[in-house]
Structure 1
Amino acid sequence: MIRQVATGIDVSDRKLRLVRVQKNYRNTQLLAFAELDLPAGILQSGVIVQPPQFVQALKELPKRVAGSHWATRGVHVGLPEQISFMTTLSLDSTNKEQVETAAKRSLPLQDSEMYFDIAVSRTNKVASIAAARRDLIDVLLAQFDAANYEVIGIHVESEALAEALLPTPLAKAPISLIIDLGSARTTIAFVAHGAVYFTVSYPSVISAAGVDQQHLAGATQQAVTYVREHFSGVGALAQIILCGSGANLPQLDQWLGQLVQIPTQIGNALLHIKPNHMSKKMSQSTQFATAIGLALAA
C-alpha cells in the first residue's frame, strides 16, 4: 500500500502553523501539527521584513510539533492573501496558448514581475488564475531554503481553505462563501464549481475584546452583494462557512446567518481526516484549516 506523507505550512503576520498528514487510497490521517506565534514586525501585510528572525521562527516550528517526528524537508506553503492574487476567467476556448494569453491580460502585473498558475475547468469553461509578485515569492523561498526546508508547492490561501472545508469533488460542492477570521486578517473567498472566483482581505475583526460585529457584518454583506451582482450566472450562494481563530466564538454563526439570511456554519477543518489520537488532540482545528488544506492539496 502506497502511503504519502505531506506537510503544509500556513504563513501569516502573527502565526506559523504546520500540519503533516499521511494519505493512502482509503483515507488521510493526521500525523502532526504545530503552531508558533510570530513577534510583531517580522511580517507586515504578508511581506517578510525581518528575514533572519523569520528563518529562526521556521527553524523553531518543528520543535513545537505534537505528533510524529519531523521526517522530511518537503513542504507546501500557503501565500498570505495580501501578496497573492486570485481570480477566474470565463473562456471561449480551452486552447492552452489562448487561455494563457487571456489570463495574463487579466492580471495586474507584467509577466516578468510575477509567478502565476492556471487551472482550467473544461466542463465549465472557466480558468482559475493564481498570481503573486515574483520578488516577494523569491524572498519567501530563500528564507525557507535558509531554514533547511524544501518548498515543493506554493498555494493561495483561499484554495487551501476550499480543499479543507468543502466536500469532494469540489466541482460538486455547495456554492460557498468562506470567511477566515484570523488574528491578523479576515479573508473572504467565494468558491463555486471547484473554482475560487474572488477573494478579499481586511484587517482582522478579532481583538482581545472579541469580534467586531459591525465590521464583520459590513464585510460579509458587501461580499454577498458583490457575489449576487457579479456572479449571478454561476448559481445561488448556498452557504457561509466560518473558520480561523474567531470562528468558535459562541453563537457567531447563528448571528451572522440570521443577519444575511444565508445558512452559516462553523467549518469542519477535519472533514477529510480520519479520526485518530492526533486529530482528537487538535481541539482548535478551525485555526488549522489553511495548513490542513495545504497538506491535502499536495
Structure 2
Amino acid sequence: MTNVTSALAALLGLKSGMGVEIAPEQITIAQLEKRGKGLGLKHLVTAPTPAGAVAGGRVEEPEAVAEVLRDLIADHRLKPGPVATAIPGREAVIRLIRLPADLQADELREVVLNQEAELYLPFSRNDAFVDFQPLAAAVDPDGVKRQEVLLVAAQLSVVNSYLEALRRAGLTARVVDIASFALVRALREPLAQVPPGAAVALVLLSADDTEISILLEGVPQFSRTVSLGTREFREALESTLDLPSFKAANLSRVLGDLADEIQRSLDFYQASGTTAPVPPVAQVLLAGNGANVRQIDEFLRQRLALPVSRVDPVTALGLPEISVPPGLRSGFGVALGLALRIL
C-alpha cells in the first residue's frame, strides 16, 4: 500500500526478501531469494495466531503477535532483513479514479494526495496513510483521454497496530501492503494468461471474512469484503452431530451462503458499468486457507456457472514443487507476494 519509510532505494539490490503475514488464524513468514534468473524459497514458516490477538482487521495484542514472531525467528534460525507486511482489504480504501491525462508527475501527486483523496476517505486525511499508483491512460466513452490512478488509503491506527507488533519482534517494516495486492503479485504469471478483455474474480478466504476482488489485467476494478470466513466453515462442522450426513449438510449451507455473496459481488460489478458495459468475469480464483476445503471449487463451479480453481502461488512463482505440499499452497499466496515485494 504505502512505503512506511522513504528508504525504498535501500531495497534495490537485495538478494532476498521477507514477507510477514499477520492474520487472525495464523502468522506466516516467507523468505524468497534470487537464484540466477529465478527464485528460490529460503524459508516458509507458520504458527497459530493467539486467540484474540488479531481481530477486526487490526492487531489487538501486539506483544502476543511479537512473541510468536520471535519464536519463529529463533526456532528456524531466520536472519531477517527489511520486511513487508499487509493489512486486510476491509481496512483499506481502494478506488480507481480517472484524472486529466495532461497532469505532470508532481501535479498528479498533488491532486491525488491533497485533493482527490479527501473525497473518498471516511476518516480524516490527517489520520490516514495514503498512496497511489498511476496506471495506463484510458479514453472515456465521451472520447476524452484520462489518466487512471489507483488510490489506496488506510487509517494510521490500523497500520500502526501491525507496525508495533513487528517493532516488538525486532523487525523493520519497509512496506505495508494490502493483502489482496500481495496475492495478485504472487499470481502475476497466471493472471497474465487471462484472455484480453476478460476479468477475474479473486476470492481470498480468511478466518473472519472473505475479500472478493474483480481484476482486469491485474488491476482491481471492484472489491468487497463479506463477513463469512473459514471460522464459519469450522463451526458448521463442529456444531453438528458426529454424522457425515449432518456435517455435509451444514457445510453445504455455509458454502451456499458464500456462493450467494460471490454472485452478489459479480452482480454489483456488472452493474457498475453505468456509461459502458464492463468486461465480463471469465473465471473465479480461490485463495487463502479456506480454498483448501475439499471440493469447494467444484461446489462453487456448479453454483456460479463459471470456471473455479484454487490458486497455486508456488507454481506461479516457479518455486521448487517439493517446497510446499499442494494441499497447503493456496494459503501462502499473501506471504509469498509480500516477500516478492521486497526483492
Q: Could you state the TM-score of these two structures normalised by the residue count of structure 1?
A: 0.88
Kindly indicate whether the alpha-carbon contact (under 8 Å) linking 1:171 and 1:193 is maintained by their aligned counterparts in 2. Answer: no
Change in Cα spacing, 1:3 to 1:74, as seen in structure 2 (3 Å) is: closer
The one-character-per-residue Cα deviations of 1:138-184 (angstroms, maximum 9, x if unpaired) are: 23212211210010111011111111224278697752111112233
Matching residue of 1:223: 265
Matching residue of 2:292: 248
The one-character-per-residue Cα deviations of 1:113-141 (angstroms, maximum 9, x if unpaired) are: 10011001133432111111012222321
Q: How many angstroms apart in 1 are the aligned matches of 2:191 and 2:321?
A: 27
CA-CA distance at 1:245 after TM superposition: 1.4
Kindly indicate whether the alpha-carbon contact (under 8 Å) linking 1:88 and 1:127 is maintained by their aligned counterparts in 2. Answer: yes
Q: How many angstroms apart in 1 are the aligned matches of 2:304 and 2:205?
A: 17
1:110 aligns with 2:154: no
Give the 3-state SS of the residue equivalent to 2:290 in structure 1. Answer: coil
Change in Cα spacing, 1:64 to 1:277, as seen in structure 2 (3 Å) is: farther
1:37 to 13, 36, 48: 48
1:11 aligns with 2:35: no
Kindly indicate whether the alpha-carbon contact (under 8 Å) linking 2:127 and 2:155 is maintained by their aligned counterparts in 1. Answer: yes
Q: Which moved more, 1:22-31 or 1:187-196?
A: 22-31
1:297 aligns with 2:341: yes
Unaligned runs of 5+ in 1: none
Runs of 4+ in 1 over 6 A off after TM superposition: none
Matching residue of 1:92: 100
The one-character-per-residue Cα deviations of 1:232-255 (angstroms, maximum 9, x if unpaired) are: 644221211001112133332122
CA-CA distance at 1:225 after TM superposition: 0.3
Write out aligned runs for 1:22-61 (5 A).
22-23=33-34, 26-61=37-72
Give the 3-state SS of the residue equivalent to 1:118 in structure 2. Answer: strand
Q: How many angstroms apart in 1 are the aligned matches of 2:320 and 2:189?
A: 20
The letter for the 2-side match of 1:182 is S
Q: How many angstroms apart in 2 are the aligned matches of 1:205 and 1:177?
A: 17
Give the 3-state SS of the residue equivalent to 2:65 in structure 1. Answer: helix
The one-character-per-residue Cα deviations of 1:262-282 (angstroms, maximum 9, x if unpaired) are: 221111212432332762457
1:122 aligns with 2:136: yes
Unaligned runs of 5+ in 2: 1-12, 139-146, 238-250
CA-CA distance at 1:112 after TM superposition: 0.3
CA-CA distance at 1:295 after TM superposition: 1.4
